[in-house]
């Protein structure tokens, strides 16, 4: 049978289960990455597993999220992560070296390998022909300990890109067009694989822009083949010897095929407040803009920022707005300096930020109240920018630069002729901010600050659950709704007790106090519950507050796994209309949940309304065992 590239890579790494669509399999993980917003918890979990040294081919700990050091917490986490990396045999990328996805693409990614990351945008590596998958931190810890990563064999969608991008249209416009067509739920349970004549003119950074935002489709991963363009990229990185060809078999079968004639694309924007609220910019009102932000793991390459610098060269940004620029990696930053492009950015009025996630996760540079921000980032969820009532538009670098000049959301084609850009230079390859682990780190002591607290553990599944409905929410609830980011909350990621005060705060500031009062609770939700970030804290902190189950119409992939990993039942309405029967404060009863999960028919007694509803699940027998144990950490330790 002719296989897609996705299936070839999955089959080559298969270590457990039968490779059959819809079945759960375990795959071997070659490389892992963590970042400092999720990594501290991942390494605490690795410690709890009792592992002396990681068993992957390569693991890297990146500092790129919590780099705004308002107080001691982030600095303490960085010190902990550096000592843990040395102790466990993990590479360490120092603060300022860049965003994990871009640095990994430049310095560590290898076509054909598997990469598991505690960040939902790990599929960025697919731009290199590498199978990158985002997961919760505990899944990554288990992989570092040598265990398989489990997933359901996905469907594979082939996206044929045909033609050549016209002037002023970029890779960001391709993925925005796909989001417009498929929505944020369109990739759930699927891998997106790209091909067609159009990929022949897309560089690896452009491909990575597209695979990066596959996370916004809900896709398990996204992939480009590894071809001559990939070989050239690796050669420029002084890693040409690691190139190998990766491509689908001739005549490979796919579950669905989509064709995008990229000749016909035009500059696009995602309007507030969802990455799939996409329209051509020419159709959107010329809204006044207060802030423009360029960079991020989506559009922070040298190529992206070089275009912005060329558009702004000799000009000054509009007096009403501010412009910030954050190169995605130190390499991109240094190349911009060497080539003189940074001078054009600074002279235009741009404020240069360090190579980190920064504004994308609400870590500084929040827009003004009721403000409008145009960003080259990947998410525009409400409040993610750090300003609750701000409206965020997502565009490519050209549109962002045009907007910075005009002060209103602008189609870059209004600027006239596309600028003549010099041929891409050799990058400044400098690996001195990457610290290799010692050969034997057992004697390296791990340093902990006072904000680094032990991991709370769940109890095994009881014989009866009598919870109350803590909250009823709608469709597409994100992990930013459940546990927000930003400079105030992110430093608490290693202190679950303190973090729990902010659970669901964007939707209901009284949630945590009510959860503590009720003692045992259920969340009732609509479609695609838990989309967005891979942050396991969106399951771990609710578990700490006594959440026993989430009853939803459907779940996002990573969050469903995280709920299981911390012993929270992810239940699905048998009849979606039953969602309407629930209100906050309702008292419920589930008797013998373990037995009911086994037969996949969970009867929920609604004690206030004196009626019953039925729920089901989409879990494997292994996941049911994890739930019975009270979570993956309990389960894994019981298997040792």
Per-residue pLDDT of 175-188, as tens digits, reads: 999 999 999 999 99
- Residue 476's CATH number: 3.20.19.10
Going by pLDDT thresholds of 50, 70 and 90, the confidence category of residue 407 is very high
Per-residue pLDDT of 412-425, as tens digits, reads: 999 999 998 888 89
Report d(CA 539, CA 563) in Å as an integer: 5
Same domain, 216 and 352: no
124 inside domain: yes
Going by pLDDT thresholds of 50, 70 and 90, the confidence category of residue 465 is very high
39: containing domain:
5-264
440 inside domain: no
Burial of 316 (0-12, 13-18, 19+ CB in 10 A): exposed
Say if residues 23 and 260 touch (Cβ distance below 8 Å): no
228, 244, 264: which is the final residue of a domain? 264
Q: What is the mean pLDDT of the chain?
A: 96
Say if residues 633 and 45 touch (Cβ distance below 8 Å): yes
- Residue 151's CATH number: 3.30.499.10
603 inside domain: yes
Model confidence at 483: pLDDT above 80: yes
349, 383, 414: which is the final residue of a domain? 414
Say if residues 309 and 395 touch (Cβ distance below 8 Å): no
pLDDT at 611: 95
| Cα 367 → chain centroid | 22
486 inside domain: yes
Per-residue pLDDT of 185-243, as tens digits, reads: 999 999 999 999 999 999 999 999 999 999 999 999 999 999 999 999 999 999 999 99
Model confidence at 555: pLDDT above 80: yes
Per-residue pLDDT of 69-80, as tens digits, reads: 888 999 999 999
Same domain, 165 and 260: yes
Say if residues 117 and 137 touch (Cβ distance below 8 Å): no
Helices 341-348 and 302-312: crossing angle in degrees, nearest 10, is 50
Alpha helices in 57-202 (DSSP H): 72-88, 100-107, 137-144, 171-182
488-493 CB contacts, 8 Å cutoff, 24+ apart: 490/37, 490/65, 490/66, 490/74, 490/361, 490/362, 490/363, 491/66, 491/70, 491/71, 491/73, 491/74, 491/77, 491/451, 492/73, 492/451, 493/37, 493/38, 493/40, 493/41, 493/66, 493/77, 493/535, 493/537
pLDDT at 108: 98
Half-sphere exposure of 511 (CA within 13 A, CB side): 28
Same domain, 243 and 286: no
Residue percentage of the chain with pLDDT more than 90: 92
Say if residues 323 and 350 touch (Cβ distance below 8 Å): yes
Burial of 440 (0-12, 13-18, 19+ CB in 10 A): exposed
Same domain, 397 and 538: no
Same domain, 249 and 355: no
Going by pLDDT thresholds of 50, 70 and 90, the confidence category of residue 534 is confident
In the block, residue with structure tokens 């950015």: 345
Same domain, 212 and 282: no
Model confidence at 354: pLDDT above 90: yes
Same domain, 168 and 53: yes
More confident residue, 486 or 538: 538
425 inside domain: no
Burial of 214 (0-12, 13-18, 19+ CB in 10 A): buried
Q: Which two tokens stand for residue 72?
A: 């001691």
19 inside domain: yes
Same domain, 31 and 163: yes
Count of structural domains, the chain: 3
pLDDT at 266: 98
Burial of 444 (0-12, 13-18, 19+ CB in 10 A): middle
| Angle ∠(541,589,574) on CA atoms, nearest 5 | 85
Per-residue pLDDT of 162-174, as tens digits, reads: 999 999 999 999 9
Going by pLDDT thresholds of 50, 70 and 90, the confidence category of residue 363 is confident
pLDDT at 420: 87
388, 414, 440: which is the final residue of a domain? 414
Q: Which two tokens stand for residue 603?
A: 């009867």
Going by pLDDT thresholds of 50, 70 and 90, the confidence category of residue 246 is very high
pLDDT at 69: 87
Same domain, 223 and 296: no
Model confidence at 640: pLDDT above 80: no
Sheet holding 149-152, edge to edge: 14-16, 24-27, 149-152
Same domain, 539 and 624: yes
Give the 3-state secondary structure of residue 204. Answer: helix
Per-residue pLDDT of 76-119, as tens digits, reads: 999 999 999 999 999 999 999 999 999 999 999 999 999 999 99
Q: Which two tokens stand for residue 170?
A: 């970029």
Neighbours of 304 (CB within 10 A): 29
| Angle ∠(322,328,329) on CA atoms, nearest 5 | 130
Spatial CB neighbours of 18, under 8 Å, sequence gap ≥ 6:
25
197 inside domain: yes
Model confidence at 390: pLDDT above 90: yes
Characterize the bridge pairing of strands 291-295 and 278-280: unpaired
Report d(CA 25, CA 505) in Å as an integer: 36
Report d(CA 383, CA 200) in Å as an integer: 38
0.85 surpassed by pTM:
yes
β-partners of residue 279 are: 269
pLDDT at 189: 94
pLDDT at 487: 83
In the block, residue with structure tokens 């369109």: 186
Report d(CA 388, CA 316) in Å as an integer: 29
Same domain, 227 and 327: no
Q: What is the secondary structure of 158-189 as a DSSP string?
A: EEEEES-PPTT--HHHHHHHHHHHH-TTTTBT
pLDDT at 1: 83
611 inside domain: yes
Residue percentage of the chain with pLDDT more than 70: 100
| Cα 226 → chain centroid | 23
Per-residue pLDDT of 295-340, as tens digits, reads: 999 999 999 999 999 999 999 999 999 999 999 999 999 999 999 9
Going by pLDDT thresholds of 50, 70 and 90, the confidence category of residue 435 is very high
Same domain, 286 and 222: no
In the block, residue with structure tokens 């209100």: 583
């Amino acid at each position: 049978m002719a296989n897609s590239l996705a299936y070839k890579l999955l089959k080559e790494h298969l270590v457990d289960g039968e490779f059959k669509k819809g079945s759960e399999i375990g795959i071997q993980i070659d490389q892992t990455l963590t970042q400092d917003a999720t990594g501290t918890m991942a390494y605490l979990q690795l410690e709890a597993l009792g592992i002396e040294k990681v068993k992957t081919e390569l693991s890297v700990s990146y500092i790129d999220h919590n780099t705004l050091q308002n107080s001691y917490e982030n600095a303490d986490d960085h010190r902990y992560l550096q000592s843990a990396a040395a102790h466990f045999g993990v590479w360490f990328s120092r603060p300022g070296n860049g965003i994990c996805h871009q640095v990994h693409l430049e310095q560590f990614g290898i076509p054909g390998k598997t990469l598991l990351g505690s960040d939902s945008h790990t599929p960025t590596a697919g731009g290199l022909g590498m199978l990158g998958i985002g997961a919760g931190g505990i899944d990554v810890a288990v992989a570092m300990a040598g265990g398989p990563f489990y997933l359901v064999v996905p469907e594979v969608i082939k996206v044929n890109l045909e033609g050549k991008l016209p002037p002023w249209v970029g890779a960001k416009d391709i993925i925005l067009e796909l989001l417009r067509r498929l929505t944020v739920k369109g990739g759930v349970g699927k891998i997106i694989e790209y091909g067609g004549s159009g990929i022949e003119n897309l560089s690896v950074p452009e491909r990575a822009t597209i695979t990066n935002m596959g996370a916004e489709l809900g896709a398990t991963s996204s992939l480009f083949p590894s071809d001559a363009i990939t070989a050239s990229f690796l050669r420029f990185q002084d890693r040409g010897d690691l190139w190998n060809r990766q491509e689908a078999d001739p005549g490979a079968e796919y579950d669905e095929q989509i064709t995008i004639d990229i000749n016909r694309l035009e500059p696009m924007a995602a309007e507030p407040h969802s990455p799939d609220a996409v329209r051509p910019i020419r159709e959107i009102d010329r809204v006044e803009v207060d802030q423009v932000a360029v960079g991020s793991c989506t559009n922070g390459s040298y190529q992206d920022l070089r275009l912005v610098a060329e558009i702004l060269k000799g000009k000054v940004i509009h007096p009403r707005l501010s412009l910030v620029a954050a190169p995605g990696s130190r390499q991109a930053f240094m190349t911009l300096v060497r080539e003189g492009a940074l001078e054009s950015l600074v002279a235009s009025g741009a404020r240069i930020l360090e190579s980190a996630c920064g504004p994308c996760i609400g870590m500084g540079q929040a827009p003004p109240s009721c403000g409008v921000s145009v960003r080259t980032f990947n998410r525009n969820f409400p409040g993610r920018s750090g300003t609750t009532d701000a409206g965020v538009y997502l565009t490519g670098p050209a549109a962002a630069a045009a907007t910075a000049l005009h002060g209103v959301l602008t189609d870059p084609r209004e600027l006239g002729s596309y600028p003549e850009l010099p041929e891409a230079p050799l990058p400044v390859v400098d690996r001195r901010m990457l610290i290799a682990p010692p050969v034997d780190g057992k004697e390296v002591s791990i340093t902990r600050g006072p904000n680094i607290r032990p991991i709370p553990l769940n109890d095994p599944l009881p014989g009866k659950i009598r919870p109350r409905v803590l909250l009823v929410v709608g469709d597409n609830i994100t992990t930013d709704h459940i546990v927000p980011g930003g400079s105030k909350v992110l430093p608490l990621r290693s202190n679950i007790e303190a973090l729990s005060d902010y659970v669901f705060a964007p939707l209901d500031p009284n949630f945590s106090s009510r959860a503590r009062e009720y003692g045992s609770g259920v969340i009732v939700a609509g479609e695609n519950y838990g989309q967005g970030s891979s942050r396991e804290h969106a399951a771990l902190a609710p578990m700490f507050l006594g959440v026993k189950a989430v009853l939803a119409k459907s779940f996002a992939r990573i969050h469903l796994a995280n709920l299981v990993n911390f012993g929270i039942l992810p239940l699905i309405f048998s009849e979606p209309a039953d969602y309407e029967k629930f209100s906050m404060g309702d008292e419920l009863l589930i008797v013998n949940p373990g037995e009911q999960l086994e037969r996949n028919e969970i009867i929920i007694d609604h004690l206030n309304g004196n009626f019953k509803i039925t729920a089901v699940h989409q879990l494997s027998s292994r996941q049911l065992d994890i739930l019975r144990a009270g979570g993956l950490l309990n389960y894994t330790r019981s298997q040792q």
